[in-house]
Structure 1
Amino acid sequence: MTKHDPITGRYIYLTIDDIEYRVYYEEAGQGIPLLVGHTAGSDGRQYRHLLCDDEVTKNFRVIAFDLPYHGKSLPPYGVRWWEKEYNMTKKFMMDFQLVLSKALGLERPVYMGSSMGGHLAIDLASNYPDNFRATISVEGALRSAAEYVDVGMAGIRKEFDNPNVNRTSIGAAMMLNISPYSPEANVREIQWEYSCGGPGIFAGDLYYYYYDHNVSAEEASKIDTSKCMLYFLTGEYDPNTSPVDTKIAADLVKGSKFWTMEKLGHFPVTEDYTEFRKYLLPILEEIHQASETRAVA
């Protein structure tokens, strides 16, 4: 018997800052909309196991997108994008979620993102609490560690956007961020995905990750979890955003919840989804129950 995944893939046209983007997304399930954002330099393939998880999709409509310039979302047609340096910004990251949600007719979706996407979960809860019922920050923090911040974008591009260095080196570099407990097949999959990106995209994404995302203690303390609940999940083997870094954010956001994920690193969704879902499912159940309570009220 032929085997298929229960996933539907489509393209949607979104206009952001007067530029039309042809955006690819995959979805599965029904119920509460759950937007899932990928890491810097990768794409929505990271969520393939989540999209096939019946325990999730029975109550959630999971939507995994490829940001413009990532995966199947090609650079915008009719724009001379190759003539300027690519840098992802906080404004574009937030605007994309709002425009996509509106285009798909989503009513206060949940947003979950990892790494770069995990940072965004904090920015959305801070800036758009009325647009999201909850956000889940996976490997997120108030700001990124100073390792690359100190070398500047020139240093980042020298390492990750260098025509003298084969693109597969980016995939190999991700080994440093992965838990030693991860199955080898999953490690190879992460390397594969990171070897597939367009030139300069991973480096440009790091502009948001290291520079444009910078939440102050005052901003974090003002996040209203009664409007938009904020959850934090961070792997114990993440060298980029350690559990200590994430806990600093969680301690400042009154009412938020934080877990350290054992045996997981910077890419928990892909490293070992079976382990990751142990932490995710209780969060989704809490969101589902809260939504049911509001509906009855």
Structure 2
Amino acid sequence: MGNSSWNDLPSALGDSFSKFTSLLSSDPQLKAFVTTDTINKPVTFAYKSSGSDNSLLITVTNGSAKASTGSAKDALFTLSAPPEHWEKYFQKVPVAPYQSYWGMVGLNLKKEGAEIQGDQTAMAQWSHVWRRVLELAHDAHCGPMEEAEDEPEQKEDHITGRYVYLETSVWGRVKVFYEWAGNGKQQIVFLHNGGADSRQFHGLMSGDRQLRQKLTMYAFDMPGHGRSFPPQKVPAGAYTNTEDGYVQIIGAFVKALGLRRPIICGAGMAGQACLAVAIRNREVQSGGVIPLQGSGYISMERPSYERSPYVNQALFNPEWMYSMISPTTPYANKQLLWHLYSGQAYGILHGDLAFSNATFDARPRLASIDTTNCPVYMLTGSYDYATTPSEAQATADKIPGAKHKVMEGLGHFPMTERPGAFKGYLMEAVEFIQAVRREGLGNLRLEREE
């Protein structure tokens, strides 16, 4: 990076401009994004440093994206950020939350200066293109992103799946898809992120033989998600998740399968659900919870493009979620996450976020959690800017007996990003919960003997 001044973004990237233009013309992912007959006229957008008008301009036509420099005055939209933000983004491995432009702009973690200027809807419509272009600019300037090592994909799959009918007062009778793997003594139920499905856990459930020996792992797709059928009483596009609905469906699943005090573990929206289970454990009879990326309350400004007639949610939703992962996530796992979020039904992510980022508020109830009955071990990825480690720690501090740990080098989807790295954190949490429960049973026996 030398002594280049990031006050002028094109100048700071000048030495890598030739490499950048070469990548623009040769990258297969970008080619797939911009090759369509519906691009019937050139579209130009820009990147620049705050306080400067000299911009990196990208002009997209059917089948190509070309770079130039100049004023952003004629750009459809401009992605602007302070010079120090761009400098952090263009590190070999960016630190959180500068791994993506969405992280630089901030959602519930506001940072001064980063600003999307111009046509906001167009920005959302082209989010897949400007994200990939920015990645290529990073690769040209810093070299290809080094992928973190993780366990290789297994040659044989060990997951079995089927359907079960579950009934709740919120959603009625619903046909739900679930999967299981392992034959260990400890039962655990995995809950997927909002707007996704349980395929997020495949690398974890099928990948490690020792894990399958210690745990019997279950995961189900929420109603209307992935392979589960939608609730019959909910019109298409009108789905909205609620605390009652979520706790009821978890309890119904545990009961239908005859599980005995299973640990409940989930990420993002499901991290909030884990906290709700701990608060209302009489309804679920869980043996403990492991909230991933959980918080007692999130107040996040949402653009609402995830349910807009003007924006293709199959392009926008995966882009927004993709921005929350660790930059060193193996390419195949990045692609899987993108695919999962691109393939969900209309309005599903929007309805989930209505619960996790708007209506759910556990703050007044956290202190009431009985962690001798339902131990709480929270885990948060260091790259997650949606629920930051400090927010998760603040939540854990309000729960008597709860524990929290930061997962270094992981983001919002740790079980999918790097299952091999995540399993160590998972087993530490499982063992903590088991130890608390053993201590509680021992104390109960002593009381009875007295």
> What is the TM-score of this pair, normalised by structure 2?
0.60
Residue 266 (1) aligns with residue 412 (2): yes
Aligned residue number for residue 65 of structure 1: 220
| 1:255 alignment partner, SS class | coil
CA RMSD of aligned residues (A): 2.1
Aligned residue number for residue 12 of structure 2: none
Residue 137 (1) aligns with residue 291 (2): yes
Aligned residue number for residue 168 of structure 2: 16
Aligned residue number for residue 327 of structure 2: 180
CA displacement at 1:83 relative to structure 2: 6.0
| 1:220 alignment partner, SS class | helix
The one of 90, 93, 96 equivalent to 2:249 is: 96
Task: Give the distance between the partners of 2:425 and 2:336, measured in 1 at CA.
Answer: 22
CA displacement at 1:37 relative to structure 2: 0.3
In structure 1, list runs of 5 or more residues that go unmatched.
149-154
Aligned residue number for residue 262 of structure 2: 109
Correspondence list, 1:68-87, <5 A: 68-76=223-231, 79=232, 81-82=234-235, 85-87=238-240
Aligned residue number for residue 346 of structure 2: 199
| 1:22 alignment partner, SS class | strand
CA displacement at 1:293 relative to structure 2: 7.0
Task: Give the distance between the partners of 1:194 and 1:83, measured in 2 at CA.
Answer: 18
Task: Give the distance between the partners of 1:88 and 1:285, measured in 2 at CA.
Answer: 31
1:91–1:282 distance in 2 versus 1, CA, 3 Å: same
Task: Give the distance between the partners of 1:254 and 1:295, measured in 2 at CA.
Answer: 18
Deviations 1:103-125 (A, max 9, x none): 11111111000000001111110
CA displacement at 1:145 relative to structure 2: 3.3
CA displacement at 1:84 relative to structure 2: 6.8
Letter in 2 for 1:113: G
Higher mean C-alpha displacement, 54-63 vs 110-119? 54-63
1:80–1:283 distance in 2 versus 1, CA, 3 Å: closer
CA contact (8 A) 2:236 2:346 kept: no
| 2:235 alignment partner, SS class | helix
Higher mean C-alpha displacement, 8-17 vs 128-137? 128-137
CA displacement at 1:182 relative to structure 2: 1.2
Task: Give the distance between the partners of 1:224 and 1:253, measured in 2 at CA.
Answer: 9
Task: Give the distance between the partners of 2:209 and 2:439, measured in 1 at CA.
Answer: 23
1:267–1:96 distance in 2 versus 1, CA, 3 Å: same
Residue 220 (1) aligns with residue 220 (2): no
Aligned residue number for residue 189 of structure 2: 35
The one of 376, 379, 382 equivalent to 1:233 is: 379
| Bigger Rg, which one | 2
The percentage of aligned residue pairs carrying the same residue is: 33
The one of 300, 311, 318 equivalent to 1:146 is: 300
Aligned residue number for residue 44 of structure 1: 198
CA displacement at 1:173 relative to structure 2: 1.9
The one of 112, 118, 123 equivalent to 2:276 is: 123
1:5–1:89 distance in 2 versus 1, CA, 3 Å: same
| 1:58 alignment partner, SS class | helix
Task: Give the distance between the partners of 1:15 and 1:222, measured in 2 at CA.
Answer: 28
| 1:146 alignment partner, SS class | coil
Task: Give the distance between the partners of 1:174 and 1:38, measured in 2 at CA.
Answer: 13
Deviations 1:196-221 (A, max 9, x none): 000011111111111221112x4111
Deviations 1:205-247 (A, max 9, x none): 111111221112x411121111100010001110100001000
Q: Which has the higher contact order (CA 8 A, sep 6+)?
A: 1
| 1:229 alignment partner, SS class | coil
Task: Give the distance between the partners of 2:233 and 2:172, measured in 1 at CA.
Answer: 11
Aligned residue number for residue 163 of structure 1: 309
CA contact (8 A) 1:145 1:241 kept: no
1:122–1:257 distance in 2 versus 1, CA, 3 Å: same
| 1:82 alignment partner, SS class | coil
Task: Give the distance between the partners of 2:350 and 2:388, measured in 1 at CA.
Answer: 21
Task: Give the distance between the partners of 2:322 and 2:197, measured in 1 at CA.
Answer: 18
1:291–1:185 distance in 2 versus 1, CA, 3 Å: same
In structure 2, list runs of 5 or more residues that go unmatched.
1-154, 446-450
